[in-house]
Amino acid sequence: MGRVASPGAADHVVAVVGFDSVQLLDVTGPIEVFTTANVFGARYDVRTVSPTGAEVRTSSGVRVGVDGAVQSLPARLGTVVVPGRRDWQRAVGDPGLTALVTELVHRSRRITSVCAGAFVLAQAGVLDGRRATTHWRLAGQLAAAYPRVRVETDPVFVKDGHVTTSAGITAGIDLALSLVEEDHGADLAREVARELVVFMARPGGQSQFSARLTPREAKHPVLRHVMDAVVADPAAPHTLESLARDAGVSTRHLGRLFRSDTGMTPGQYLESVRLESAQVLLEAGNEPVETVAGHSGFGSAETMRRVFQRTLGITPTTYRARFRTTAGS
């Protein structure tokens, strides 16, 4: 059974940071989870604060009122939630925001971020030496800007000690549900998920949502030739030997070119192109999975299923059902 707070228990103060151009759902998603948990017996005292104590205008233009500035909060906090904004450079360059977050993290038992909020935590030094995640589109930028952060690109949220970071936007709901479960057990968290009509645990990771990230540009003309040949016909019987022979180089030299220009082996690149081809066919058509596997170069539905499961965390059939249309079955 879930652990429901006793009537005399002290409230767990959750401080949610608001600032201009913040992503609206980064703020409201976690708040909705915590306040819904209160309906089922939790004791969250949710406070929204901004650097100046004034209301903020979110990225969507909606204005959000706040409870005040940092002075309106008690000395000790249970949880701080740091949301993000699309142009994270503006966020980390705002001295008022970084000062607010720095003070809050020192007063909080648990520190969290949603989406690009990870950049603000990184700027404050909170993520140094820690595992963390952010929106899949920003993961490379987080790793480049803050090399001491161990960025993980696929998880919907990552917990490292008392610091938890989550992926893009709606993943703040997943994050907040995990915190409710941590505080009050799975039963209460499940009731919240049911009430909000969301997954208790989202199936698969961020990879299933990411854009086509197969590298298309290569500096070396030999590599460009090989990559173009693979993209033009993913289903052809490409091998390292046949690709090297067609390019007029040795297999060892071709392997070195791929690793230096793409960070992939030739085999990994070929698999990524075939995976992308299969995704397009699954999204656009009605062909059986076996046919899609043949057209995209996997040869068999079982081989394709293993690649989908390993790379995206879901099967081809589930991928088609999830991404082909928003219409219900």
**Sorting pLDDT into bands at 50, 70 and 90, what band is 87?**
very high
Q: How many residues does the chain have?
A: 329
Please give the average per-residue pLDDT across 93-113, as a whole number: 97
Q: What are phi and psi of 211, to 5 degrees?
A: -70, 170
Please give the average per-residue pLDDT across 121-129, as a whole number: 97
Q: Which two tokens stand for residue 27?
A: 């703020």
Residue 214: is its pLDDT beyond 80? Answer: no
Residue of 125, 111, 120 lying closest to 175 (CA atoms): 111
46 or 322, higher pLDDT: 46
CB 195 within 8 A of CB 39: yes
CB 193 within 8 A of CB 181: no
The secondary structure of 214-266 as a DSSP string is: -----SSHHHHHHHHHHHH-TTS---HHHHHHHHTS-HHHHHHHHHHHHSS-H
State the CB neighbour count (10 A cutoff) for residue 245. 13
Q: Which two tokens stand for residue 59?
A: 């990225």
Q: Which two tokens stand for residue 24?
A: 């609206």
Amino acid at 218: A
- This prediction's pTM: 0.70
**Sorting pLDDT into bands at 50, 70 and 90, what band is 322?**
confident
Report the alpha-carbon distance of residue 213 to residue 232 in Å, rounded: 17
Q: Which two tokens stand for residue 323?
A: 């991404």
Look over the chain and give the mean of its residue pLDDT values, rounded to a whole number: 89
Alpha-carbon dihedral 162, 70, 50, 173, rounded to 10 degrees? 30
Residue 5: is its pLDDT beyond 50? Answer: no
Residue 41: is its pLDDT beyond 90? Answer: yes
